[in-house]
Structure 1
Amino acid sequence: MKNCFLILCLLSSWGAAAQSLPATPQRPVTDTYFGRAVVDNYRWLEDTKSPEVLAWFKAQGDYTKQTLDRLPGRDSLLSAFVRYDRLRPARYSEIRKRGNRYFYRKTLPAEKVGKLYLREGATGAETLLFDPVAYNPAKTYSVTAFTPSNSGQQLVVGLQEGGAELSTLRIMTVATKALLPESIVAVSGGGVDWLPTDTGFLYTPNNSTDPKDPLGNLNTKARLHRLGTPASADPELFSRAKNPAFPIRPDEYPFIYFSDDHTQVYAGLGSVDNRQYVWVATPADLGKPTIPWQPLAVPTDSVYSYLKLGAQLYLYSVKGAPKGRILVTDAAHPKVATATVLLPEGSRNITGIVSSKDYLFVTLNDGINDHIRQYDPRSRQWADVPLPFSGTAYVQPLDAPRSNAVLLGITSWKQPATLYDYNPDSKKLAVSNFEVKAEYPGVADLVVEEVEVPSHDGAMVPLSLIYRKGLQKNGQAICFMDGYGAYGISAVPAFSTRYLAMLNQGVVIAETHPRGGSEKGQKWYRAGYQTTKPNTWKDFIACGDYLVKNGYTSPSHLIGMGTSAGGILIGRAITERPDLFAAAISNVSCSNMLRQENTPNGPVNVPEFGSVKDPVQCQALYEMDAFQHVKPGTKYPAVMCVGGMNDPRVIVWQPGKLAAALQAATTSGKPVLMQVNYDNGHFTEDKAVTFRNFANMYAFALWQAGHPNFQPATVAVK
């Protein structure tokens, strides 16, 4: 008689995967940096044109998809994203006013990307101007940016394909919705600035439509396009070649734009260094063979932004004032060195300035929440802009040179973004005609807690916690901890329906504010910069230790995530403290910093991270390099690396090499996956792609952190 017995095999979902990953060959290449020999086993993965490399990424992506498709909670998480998105009937953004015309992007719940619309008056009838989906049904397009002309009669539309970020510019005649014949390709971001006469516009294109072209970002040129002429004939106005006497590096982006009142034109250099290099001329000078640019500011002036209002030039500078101050000088004869201090440095960080026709608006931040002040040059009086609640706020002038029409937006960790019309004369707020309210489930039960955590050197690191009421601090909750800490960018409060989907499943959200951001001013930024960069991931680790010590979670339930430059943070956190995390997400991540300069976007980032050509900075880059700190025989947490094949900012082999190294090194038995996005770059507006991408990342992490809703079923074998 045949023996019949039931064997209950409690298969982990990792062991139950349908296929195994193919082996990744190690082909060592040794580089010597100032006497240090560094071995790179996966240099061959950098050749993204190689059929072998493309096959490797495809195999990795296919394996990841098979694994994630088995997670029971992934699709329900994706459904929650879609369901919450549909609670707001329409989303309005990027509202611009020209005369009585309002131009804006509107996205309906059923739409993957937004369309461009026009209203005659804020409450007028709505007219569809441009649908990127219908532009070319054979391809996937979205609108990167759009800019109406000064009269509102023309519209420049920047189109991106497949999340590639480099845009093609098309020009529309608004009255007929007809597109002019010319197309301008490879414009980063898609932004332009119209001539006062509306006969053309200023723009700066890249040199190539290929986001992987190493020369695409170097020695770019600011150009002038005249409507109805071929882009190939567009003259260059400002560039390293055109202005050889100017200190323009190959990696800096020359740009030109007008003051709001079109009485001045500015030339500047875009880079990751926030300190501006600026020259000024008159619009009439643009027609001269050689533009007589006059210096306005140099990096040692530490001017972060500037604007002309009336006869005065207002400058936001951090020179001698790490939290910022506002200076004012005569716009016709600007002298930063002798400018008057209009608003001295205070206890709050200045984060930006904008203006309407008659008012200057200054945004200040107390480390977490924004405050806005307005200044009237006519009366020389300051006043506070009333905010309905604490959080992240911004002022958006709708038609700065011609009116005081202003929108005010505000959001917080648990309050959805709300849009108001603001009257700076009366200081009154009214809910905007473009505001569409939505009620989201579970928001009323959310608790926000702001704490400070001692780091390795005693520095107190801000930590924002969001969780549902009734949290038992017994270490059993899953905690999702995110961090960035680069370029002086602060982690500001913002409501997220994606986070809400996890919060409503009992997950604790922890938003860290490590050094490298500007939560505590420029000193906080510079304390996580180049040679001080280790503070960034050590602050992140300190936050994780705090959460464990205080019972919010435990190492078996802690998830860490870092995106883009935050890849340094998460990569070095798991290589320095692999015991602290159950899972980590390394999303479009800077993971191999010693090789960052060899990427298309690498040279422009040298001011932020350093160069391998400098011995001190090279050592700092080695410390930042997560790939080089992967050690064989280590029990690493589960890790999901994510890369976009169309990503122009962080090339796909950066997270790819980290995934390969971790797969070969880890002895924990936990999965290391490489998700490859072929319809995405660094990010995309396409909601279907974005929702899928984040559902995959979150589901992976929640599975590995032990959330019961994401565990594959056990299998009974007879």
Structure 2
Amino acid sequence: MKPFLVASLYLGLSLPVLAQSERQIARPISPKRPVVDTYFGKVVTDNYRWMEDMNSQQTKDWFKAQGDYSNSVLAQIPGRDSLVNTFVRYDALKSVNYSDIRRKGNRYFYRKTLPKENVSKLYYRDGKMGAEMLLFDPTTYDKAKKYAVSGYQPSEDGQKLTIGLAEGGAEISIMRIMDVATKTFYPESITAVFGYDNYGWSPDGKGFIYKQLSSDNPQLPAAHLDNKSFYHRIGTEPGTDTELFSRNRYPTLGIKSAELPLVFYSDDFSMLFGILATADNRLNGFMAPANELLQPTIGWQRFVTLTDSVYNLATVGNQLFLQSHKGASKGRVLVTDARHPSVQNATVLLPEGKWTITGISAGKNFLFVQLNDGINDHVRQYDVRSAQWADVSLPLTGTVRFSPYSPISNDGLLLISSWKQPPTVYDYDPATKQFSTSPFNVPVTYPGVTDLIVEELEVPSHDGVMVPLSLIYRKGLKKDGSQITYMTGYGAYGSSAKPFFNPRYLALLNKGVVVAITHPRGGREKGESWHTAGYKTTKPNTWKDFIACGEYLINKKYTSPKHLIGEGTSAGGILIGRAITERPDLFAAAICNVADCNTLRSEYGTDGPVNAAEYGTVKDSVECMALYEMDALSHVKEGVNYPAVIGVGGINDPRVMAWQPGKFAAALQNATASGKPVLMQVNYDNGHFTEDKAVTFRNFANMYAFALWQAGHPDFQPSDARSVRAKATSTEKK
């Protein structure tokens, strides 16, 4: 197939005979309709509040016009389709992709995607080397809709399966129940379930626990309030399901409306845990004997509070292991009696050390602890029978994902990847400490990988704190300021940017672009104190760390302001939005991907109340002023020379509503004096993300091509660049 045809199929584009310059339309206007709010004496004018009503025809028309305009500009960037072709070609180098591998008994369940498939299908094998059996193909479920599997969970005996189905990149799911032997569905369906909100089967396989939203429209803020956890018995009407854990059912437990009530079994099925989840990663919850599951009242007893600073738990027999960061920024492991737990009186099993504990998990006789040294992951194992610790000698360095197969066995699946090492999958036996290459490992060789250089640096920030910075580039880099550099960052929720292999980064690297991954405060690269140094009132450190990394790259002549691209996704929208409003001179282009750019209004969005634990609330005078400071929209000023910006919003996004990047793009379009384009790319077949490769490839090709065009990459310059730039900054008059 010819390359341009491949691109057109993946982009969903027709290729008219018209000249490129004839296809572009004028930029639509973004009307200002001021709404004035006073927050504890601070007067804030919001010119684009009207956009928050996503159901109004005016808003729909604005997004449609902005999307059409953006598409007309992007269509004239010559390298855009070539990027899609590269993504397709790199994807095809891996003959098959396995993911989400789970074992129940001797039966292995997994997702599998072939290069020509856009979404994964579900399969199983009896035995690791057994014959492969197709269980479910979401593309055949409803020919009129585009479904993908949002989550799945096999029963303990491997005879049944719950499957979450989501449409158009949305995360809300319809849950169906499949009989594995016949590959047929039971008649009932459960709606308003998030794909990952499937917390497990009862040990008898007769039913399962799940959490349900308060509405089947996840874009309503009320849908994320007063959620409930239920037990569903197969063959019964979902409307009769037993309510297990909620503010409504247990008003005396002090459950708040924004807390998500999650229920799951202990590893040995002897206990039930009821956890109240928010954006705060610390556990807050209760436990009860598992035999009370279907009793009229469950005797929930609190066992952990936020002040205990417990982030993870695991059980082996009668021992409850806790990952705690209280008084220990890098974490320690505690152990207590699972039948009568006491965090306060728990024994320190593994004290805080020089590496940060990032997770714990358990098998039948072993506890596994994952640690990070700031760059690479490490694993230690604890044999509960001998009470002995041992270091796991990993076959490769990089980021490790270790998953015990089952609480009734000791072996597990281990994946290792790094910035320039594609993922390798191993089976691991802790009894012998031996690794073997997994049958689910698929070797792949990508072009240009052997020519890559990785530098791990630390950069002084505005206050002298040293911030980690990871650089990837091709051999022979000239530090003369001429290199286009793509700099990305996140810095929120205590999420660390760990080394991983990204074929999309490789597409940039093989075009001579330097890729810079920042590790600003707000993540957990240096422990929990690194997280708390970049949230709520300390959030400015996040974007100031990002700015410091950009300044370092310029000062050391890796790049220059006319070649530097900044990118932030989701909560990273705070980082990129405030970086370009505080230092617009630093960047040639910026990407605001499904970006939170209006934090003063986030609390009034879909899952805003849940995220107040990370950002703060407008109801508190101190936190409200912190929200104003991190609000990119409120810091857009008229007449400033802003960089070129592309905002991206998913119409089906239940996390960051499209009006967040939309309002920011509108403000920049009206305010900028630089003459550089500001686009608002609108994805009608996407949410916060999507599994659909065709949609994903198109989305990233659009973002990268726009930024590379503006940063001066020769492969992305339209033949009549001045005409395109002029049209991209003009405004259509009423």
Q: TM-score, normalised by structure 2?
A: 0.95
Comparing 586-595 and 187-196, the one that deviates more: 187-196
Name the SS of the counterpart of 2:181 in structure 1.
coil
The equivalent position to 2:676 in structure 1, one of 667, 670, 685, is 670
Q: Which amino acid aligns with 1:335?
A: S
2:207 alignment counterpart: 200
- Residues 87-102 of structure 1 correspond to what in structure 2 (within 5 A)? 87-102=93-108
The equivalent position to 1:384 in structure 2, one of 382, 391, 398, is 391
How far has the Cα of 1:247 moved from its partner?
Answer: 2.1
Q: Which amino acid aligns with 2:372?
A: N
2:119 alignment counterpart: 113
How far has the Cα of 1:358 moved from its partner?
Answer: 1.2
Assess if the C-alpha contact under 8 Å between 1:609 and 1:621 holds in 2.
yes
Please give the alpha-carbon distance, in whole angstroms, between the structure 1 residues aligned to 2:623 and 2:609: 14
- Residues 321-470 of structure 1 correspond to what in structure 2 (within 5 A)? 321-400=328-407, 402-470=408-476
- Residues 173-572 of structure 1 correspond to what in structure 2 (within 5 A)? 173-190=179-196, 191-400=198-407, 402-572=408-578
1:8 alignment counterpart: none
1:588 alignment counterpart: 594
CA displacement 1:55-80 (0-9 Å, x = unmatched): 00000000001110111101111110
Please give the alpha-carbon distance, in whole angstroms, between the structure 2 residues aligned to 1:98 and 1:414: 33
1:10 alignment counterpart: none
How far has the Cα of 1:368 moved from its partner?
Answer: 1.6
The verdict on how the C-alpha distance between 1:711 and 1:622 changes in structure 2, with shifts beyond 3 A counting, is same
How far has the Cα of 1:235 moved from its partner?
Answer: 1.9
2:688 is equivalent to residue 651 of structure 1: no
The equivalent position to 1:682 in structure 2, one of 662, 683, 688, is 688
Large movers: runs of 4+ above 4 Å? 13-17
The verdict on how the C-alpha distance between 1:635 and 1:104 changes in structure 2, with shifts beyond 3 A counting, is same
Assess if the C-alpha contact under 8 Å between 1:14 and 1:67 holds in 2.
no
Please give the alpha-carbon distance, in whole angstroms, between the structure 2 residues aligned to 1:348 and 1:16: 58
Assess if the C-alpha contact under 8 Å between 1:392 and 1:410 holds in 2.
yes
1:6 alignment counterpart: none
Q: TM-score, normalised by structure 1?
A: 0.97
Q: Which amino acid aligns with 1:634?
A: V
2:178 alignment counterpart: 172
CA displacement 1:299-351 (0-9 Å, x = unmatched): 11111111110110000000111110000011111111110000000011000
Q: Which amino acid aligns with 2:324?
A: S
Name the SS of the counterpart of 2:82 in structure 1.
helix
Please give the alpha-carbon distance, in whole angstroms, between the structure 2 residues aligned to 1:508 and 1:715: 24
Please give the alpha-carbon distance, in whole angstroms, between the structure 1 residues aligned to 2:124 and 2:102: 10
The verdict on how the C-alpha distance between 1:492 and 1:554 changes in structure 2, with shifts beyond 3 A counting, is same
Assess if the C-alpha contact under 8 Å between 2:124 and 2:133 holds in 1.
yes
1:577 alignment counterpart: 583
Assess if the C-alpha contact under 8 Å between 2:102 and 2:109 holds in 1.
yes
The verdict on how the C-alpha distance between 1:404 and 1:175 changes in structure 2, with shifts beyond 3 A counting, is same
How far has the Cα of 1:36 moved from its partner?
Answer: 1.2
Assess if the C-alpha contact under 8 Å between 1:14 and 1:671 holds in 2.
no
CA displacement 1:245-276 (0-9 Å, x = unmatched): 11211011001100111111111111111111
Please give the alpha-carbon distance, in whole angstroms, between the structure 2 residues aligned to 1:118 and 1:260: 23
How far has the Cα of 1:278 moved from its partner?
Answer: 2.0
Name the SS of the counterpart of 1:417 in structure 2.
strand
Instruction: Flag structure 1 segments of 5+ consecutive residues without an equivalent.
Output: 1-12
Assess if the C-alpha contact under 8 Å between 2:324 and 2:331 holds in 1.
yes
The equivalent position to 1:80 in structure 2, one of 80, 86, 92, is 86
Q: Which amino acid aligns with 1:602?
A: G
Please give the alpha-carbon distance, in whole angstroms, between the structure 1 residues aligned to 2:221 and 2:328: 38
Name the SS of the counterpart of 1:404 in structure 2.
coil
Please give the alpha-carbon distance, in whole angstroms, between the structure 1 residues aligned to 2:497 and 2:355: 16
Name the SS of the counterpart of 2:187 in structure 1.
coil
2:64 is equivalent to residue 58 of structure 1: yes
Please give the alpha-carbon distance, in whole angstroms, between the structure 1 residues aligned to 2:631 and 2:21: 30
Name the SS of the counterpart of 1:66 in structure 2.
helix
CA displacement 1:664-707 (0-9 Å, x = unmatched): 00011100000011110000101110111001000000000000
CA displacement 1:91-135 (0-9 Å, x = unmatched): 111111111110000011000000000101111100000000011
How far has the Cα of 1:287 moved from its partner?
Answer: 2.0
Please give the alpha-carbon distance, in whole angstroms, between the structure 2 residues aligned to 1:367 and 1:228: 50
The equivalent position to 1:630 in structure 2, one of 618, 623, 636, is 636
Q: Alignment length, in residue pairs?
A: 704
Please give the alpha-carbon distance, in whole angstroms, between the structure 2 residues aligned to 1:379 and 1:716: 73
The verdict on how the C-alpha distance between 1:716 and 1:481 changes in structure 2, with shifts beyond 3 A counting, is closer
How far has the Cα of 1:715 moved from its partner?
Answer: 8.2
How far has the Cα of 1:389 moved from its partner?
Answer: 2.1
CA displacement 1:25-75 (0-9 Å, x = unmatched): 111110011111110111111111001110000000000011101111011
Instruction: Flag structure 2 segments of 5+ consecutive residues without an equivalent.
Output: 1-18, 724-734
Please give the alpha-carbon distance, in whole angstroms, between the structure 2 residues aligned to 1:708 and 1:249: 55
How far has the Cα of 1:539 moved from its partner?
Answer: 0.2
